[in-house]
């Protein structure tokens, strides 16, 4: 058992107060460490081999435990929350919308969204980075997966609802279900946010249905399985309720982690201006002045290394749970059926034997020969096995393109008022408040941009 458990709350307090410090300290106590989250005892794999086993043996280490049990009751039974027995069918139906051909099309939207964002900023302006990045990431999800262009008010409403849901979801892990049904202001806020979002999802699906044509997006892919199956689940397709759950899942899973990764990357580049200059140079060499696209990503080598190093230091999805479906041996111990196992990527990402001087931002770690020497499981920002993030390639394309677009254009510096500690009790690791001062980099003038010194807030 890890030291420092408090009466009643166990390790929950340390975990919530300083998630990265807590995670980084765990491997010192063994390869499989027991922790207590309120009343729940849980096992944390701290060795890459153990994590790989947990992620690959999805039948035994099934989605469940405090996080996924609560997530299922809120988000429904979509591909991210369903049990192993259900998963293969759902994933098979969704996967085509994430193939290379779709991704190349989506990448045009990604480039458009983040170019528009970089165009809106002005020389000498201070921006609140996370909400701006979130808006662009959410618009990207809406436009690519659901062919929907929402107005600013709608985007803000979805943002508020998703943030409320995700943050409450996290707190709810540590509370007994009886407390969640009490009519407290927090529970009412949560119920309202969920009802709003479900309502928005229903409207989005209804709108899509009205046109009844293939728009080349995820929703078309799902609706097609529904029609072919003539009745949904019986024929192996997705039922109406499942389609709504998948849409909700993508809205909740698809924007926050991208915005978090970009916010942390900009924060790190603000602290490491020499690396930022390398990314800017590369952006100009590879992208020039034409619109960026997915095929550029392999050439944006330095940008990719910065994104990987950001995901190592600040993996947005930092704590997920599993439950054992049968007794199983792990690290010489027999875990009973029903045991909770935690998947915490930062535990591995901050091991000094895998990453020398692990606290240090060092994108050179991702030079191909060094990266290839890492054992499986050492770098797991997207999970692994059958439940690996379905949006892995989507997210890498989006973050690399967005970072190249923004950094090619803007030099960023930390502005007063920034608090770059991870937000407390958040499902996704994101900075509390990231205020960045922008300076336009010298280069070819772009349509719609102000000349340096022309405008400020
Ligand atoms: C940097 C961005 C992202 C990160 C770091 C990330 C991380 C993850 C992780 C760690 C998991 C596995 C959770 C577990 O094993 O318990 C996951 C699953 C998932 N992610 Fe992502 N994600 C990102 C972006 C996205 C995007 C853009 C989408 C959708 C467009 C998405 C949709 C999903 C879905 C649907 C699952 C569940 C997959 C399954 O169980 O089959 N994610 N993500």
Note the pLDDT tens digit of each residue in 381-394.
999 999 999 999 99
Would you say residue 456 lies in a domain? no
The string of pLDDT tens digits covering residues 193-248 is 999 999 989 988 888 888 767 888 999 988 888 766 544 444 578 888 899 999 99
Would you say residue 70 lies in a domain? yes
Segment 260-267 mean pLDDT = 98
Q: Which of 139, 146, 253, 318 to mutate to test the pocket of ligand 1 (most atoms within 8 A of CB)?
A: 253
Would you say residue 409 lies in a domain? yes
Ligand 1 and 58: CB distance under 6 A: no
Q: Compute the Cα dihedral for 116, 203, 94, 101 and give only its sign.
A: negative
Q: Which of 4, 2, 29 minimizes the C-alpha distance to 17?
A: 4
Q: Work out the percent of the chain whose per-residue pLDDT is above 70.
A: 95
Query: Which tokens is 97 given?
Result: 């919308």
Segment 295-324 mean pLDDT = 97
Segment 280-303 mean pLDDT = 95
Pairing of strands 435-440, 126-128: antiparallel
- Distance (angstroms) between ligand 1 centre and the Cα of 438 equals 31
Average model confidence (pLDDT) across the chain = 91
DSSP code of residue 10: B
Ligand 1 and 381: CB distance under 6 A: yes
Three-state DSSP at 27 gives: helix
More confident residue, 231 or 8: 8
Distance (Å, whole) CA 144 – CA 311? 23
Ligand 1 and 19: CB distance under 6 A: no
Distance (Å, whole) CA 330 – CA 351? 20
pLDDT at 329 exceeding the cut of 70: yes
Ligand 1 atom showing the smallest separation from residue 261 Cα: 1
pLDDT at 44 exceeding the cut of 50: yes
Q: Provide the number of structural domains found in the chain.
A: 1
Would you say residue 4 lies in a domain? no
Ligand 1 and 261: CB distance under 6 A: yes
The residues, ordered by sequence, that sit 6+ positions from 278 with a Cβ below 8 Å of its Cβ are 302
CATH assignment of the domain containing 143: 1.10.630.10
The string of pLDDT tens digits covering residues 395-446 is 999 999 999 999 999 999 999 999 999 998 888 999 999 999 999 998 764 5
pLDDT at 210: 82
Q: Which of 284, 273, 271, 279 minimizes the C-alpha distance to 399?
A: 279
In this structure, which residue's CA is closest to atom 17 in ligand 1?
Answer: 389
Segment 87-102 mean pLDDT = 95
Would you say residue 446 lies in a domain? no
The residues, ordered by sequence, that sit 6+ positions from 283 with a Cβ below 8 Å of its Cβ are 300, 303, 404, 405, 407, 408
DSSP labels, 200-214? HHHHHHHHHHHH-S-
- Distance (angstroms) between ligand 1 centre and the Cα of 452 equals 39
Would you say residue 96 lies in a domain? yes
In 288-377, alpha helices (H): 301-313, 345-349, 368-372
Q: Compute the Cα dihedral for 78, 80, 82, 86 and give only its sign.
A: positive
pLDDT at 457: 27
User: Distance of alpha carbon 456 from its chain centroid, rounded?
Assistant: 32
Ligand 1 and 45: CB distance under 6 A: no
Q: In the structure, what pLDDT confidence band is assigned to residue 451 with cuts at 50, 70 and 90? A: very low
Distance (Å, whole) CA 451 – CA 442? 10
In this structure, which residue's CA is closest to atom 42 in ligand 1?
Answer: 391
Would you say residue 453 lies in a domain? no
Task: Print the domain residue range for 74.
Answer: 12-440
Q: In the structure, what pLDDT confidence band is assigned to residue 291 with cuts at 50, 70 and 90? A: confident
Distance (Å, whole) CA 120 – CA 115? 9
Ligand 1 and 395: CB distance under 6 A: yes
Q: In the structure, what pLDDT confidence band is assigned to residue 298 with cuts at 50, 70 and 90? A: very high
Would you say residue 430 lies in a domain? yes
Neighbours of 126 (CB within 10 A): 16
- The label of the residue with tokens 């994430």 reads 98
Three-state DSSP at 180 gives: helix
- Distance (angstroms) between ligand 1 centre and the Cα of 317 equals 8
Distance (Å, whole) CA 182 – CA 161? 20
pLDDT at 446: 52
Ligand 1 atom showing the smallest separation from residue 250 Cα: 29
The string of pLDDT tens digits covering residues 300-309 is 999 999 999 9
175: which strand partners?
Answer: none
SS3 letters across 226-291: HHHHCCHHHHCCCCHHHHHHHHHHHHHHHCHHHHHHHHHHHHHHHHCHHHHHHHHHHHHHHHCCCC
Three-state DSSP at 329 gives: strand
Q: Which of 308, 397, 306, 304 minimizes the C-alpha distance to 345?
A: 308
Distance (Å, whole) CA 316 – CA 346? 10
In this structure, which residue's CA is closest to atom 7 in ligand 1?
Answer: 382
């Amino acid at each position: 058992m890890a030291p420092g458990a408090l009466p009643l709350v166990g390790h929950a307090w340390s975990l919530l107060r300083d998630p990265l410090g807590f995670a980084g300290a765990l491997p010192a106590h063994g390869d499989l460490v027991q922790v207590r989250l309120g009343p729940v005892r849980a096992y944390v794999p701290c060795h890459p081999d153990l994590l790989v086993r947990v992620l690959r043996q999805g039948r035994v280490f099934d989605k469940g435990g405090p996080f996924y049990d609560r997530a299922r009751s809120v988000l429904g039974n979509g591909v991210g929350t369903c049990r192993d027995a259900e998963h293969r069918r759902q994933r098979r139906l969704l996967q085509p919308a994430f193939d290379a051909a779709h991704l190349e099309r989506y990448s045009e939207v990604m480039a458009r969204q983040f170019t528009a964002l970089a165009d809106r900023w002005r020389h000498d302006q201070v921006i609140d980075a996370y909400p701006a990045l979130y808006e662009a990431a959410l618009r990207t999800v809406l436009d690519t997966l659901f062919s929907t262009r929402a107005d600013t008010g709608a985007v803000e409403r979805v943002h508020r609802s998703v943030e409320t849901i995700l943050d409450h979801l996290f707190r709810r892990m540590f509370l007994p279900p009886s407390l969640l049904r009490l009519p407290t202001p927090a529970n009412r806020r949560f119920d309202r946010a969920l009802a709003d979002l479900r309502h928005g999802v229903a409207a989005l699906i209804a709108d899509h249905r009205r046109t009844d044509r293939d728009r080349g997006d995820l929703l078309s892919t799902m609706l097609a399985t529904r029609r072919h199956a003539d009745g949904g689940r019986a024929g192996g397709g997705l039922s109406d309720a499942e389609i709504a759950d998948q849409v909700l899942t993508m809205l909740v899973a698809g924007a926050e982690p991208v915005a978090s990764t970009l916010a942390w990357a900009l924060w790190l580049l603000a602290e490491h201006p020499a690396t930022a200059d390398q990314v800017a140079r590369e952006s100009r060499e590879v992208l020039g002045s034409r619109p960026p696209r997915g095929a550029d990503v392999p050439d944006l080598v330095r940008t990719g290394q910065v994104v990987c190093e950001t995901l190592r230091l600040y993996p947005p999805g930092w704590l997920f749970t599993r439950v054992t479906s049968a007794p199983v041996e792990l690290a010489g111990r027999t875990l009973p059926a029903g045991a909770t196992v935690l998947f915490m990527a930062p535990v591995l990402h901050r091991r000094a034997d895998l990453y020398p001087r692990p606290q240090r931002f060092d994108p050179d770690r991702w030079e191909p020969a060094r990266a290839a020497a890492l054992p499986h499981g050492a770098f797991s920002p997207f999970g692994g096995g059958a439940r690996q993030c379905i949006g892995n390639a989507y997210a890498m394309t989006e973050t690399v393109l967005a970072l190249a677009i923004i950094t090619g254009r803007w030099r960023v510096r930390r502005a007063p008022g920034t608090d770059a500690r991870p937000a407390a009790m958040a499902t996704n690791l994101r900075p509390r408040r990231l205020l960045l001062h922008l300076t336009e980099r010298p280069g070819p003038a772009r349509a719609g941009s102000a000349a340096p010194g022309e405008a400020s807030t």
